Amino acid sequence: GQNIDQPTEMTATEGAIVQINCTYQTSGFNGLFWYQQHAGEAPTFLSYNVLDGLEEKGRFSSFLSRSKGYSYLLLKELQMKDSASYLCAVDDDYKLSFGAGTTVTVRA
Amino acid sequence: IAGITQAPTSQILAAGRRMTLRCTQDMRHNAMYWYRQDLGLGLRLIHYSNTAGTTGKGEVPDGYSVSRANTDDFPLTLASAVPSQTSVYFCASSETSGSTDTQYFGPGTRLTVL
């Protein structure tokens, strides 16, 4: 089976940086995705990592270590609109297995 | 605007009733998926289709069936609904079933089974 762990909740201040960790144990690995989901809405794609290292995309960056089964999503210069759930998903056998999601609350 | 539509937006259903959730995409994507999302459990794959005419079982297929008669439509049927099927259901699609292809999600259907 798949085991994907991420913290349930995180709180941070507007303008700050938050790092959301994701650890995984899966039978296969074809890449790792991060999605953002605002309350009551559909998940939307943020990033994809398949090789070790950091992928930077504006205020958001994602890191992967395949040997450690570990990824993180880094959100910089937090804005109120970043309050959402962040979902870590591992592509195993060309199907996605999702973590339960991390709810990030940004406070003024 | 291209994308995925789902219907209905929400539904309250009596246990034992049959229900079909509709999903249509206009991006000509080959692969389509059905997930359910429950608090604390995240998204779980119910069924998928890599291309029109083929379907496969995901992590939680029991009590659900799907069909893929054409590229655009991927309906999910609950033959006899039970309260444990109360959930938010998301349909998604991707260009192919390949690992690098991003999945795009529909707006979801909130289903309550009483």
For tokens 């039978």, the residue is: A27
Mean pLDDT of chain B: 95
The full 3-state SS of B9-72, as one line of letters, equals CEEEECCCCCEEEEEEECCCCCEEEEEEEECCCEEEEEEEECCCCCCEECCCCCCEEECCCCCC
pLDDT score at A78: 97
pLDDT score at B66: 98
Residue B21 token pair: 């959730």
Determine which of A45, A46, A95, A97 to mutate to test the interface with B (most B C-beta atoms within 10 Å).
A95
Tens digits of per-residue pLDDT, A41-81? Answer: 999 999 999 999 999 999 999 999 999 999 999 999 999 99
Chain A contact present for B98, CB below 8 A = yes
Taking CB atoms and an 8 Å cutoff, what residues of chain B touch A50? 99-100
Q: Rounded to 5 degrees, what are φ and ψ at B27?
A: -100, 0
Chain A contact present for B42, CB below 8 A = yes
pLDDT score at B27: 94
* DSSP letter assigned to residue B73: B
The span from the CA of A2 to the CA of A106, in Å, is: 30
Mean pLDDT of chain A: 94
Q: Rounded to 5 degrees, what are φ and ψ at A82?
A: -80, -5
CA distance B68 to chain A (A): 18
CA distance A42 to chain B (A): 5
First to last CA, chain B: 36
The span from the CA of A67 to the CA of A29, in Å, is: 11
Q: Rounded to 5 degrees, what are φ and ψ at A77?
A: 50, 55
| pLDDT of B97 above 90 | no
The span from the CA of B92 to the CA of B58, in Å, is: 13
Chain A contact present for B9, CB below 8 A = no
Tens digits of per-residue pLDDT, B29-47? Answer: 999 999 999 988 889 999 9
- The three-state secondary structure class of A27 is coil
pLDDT score at A97: 92
pLDDT score at A2: 73
Chain A contact present for B55, CB below 8 A = no
Contacts across the A-B interface (CB distance below 8 Å): 50
Please indicate whether residue B41 or residue B63 has the higher confidence score (pLDDT): B63
- Under a CB-based contact definition with an 8 Å cutoff, are residues B2 and B87 in contact? no
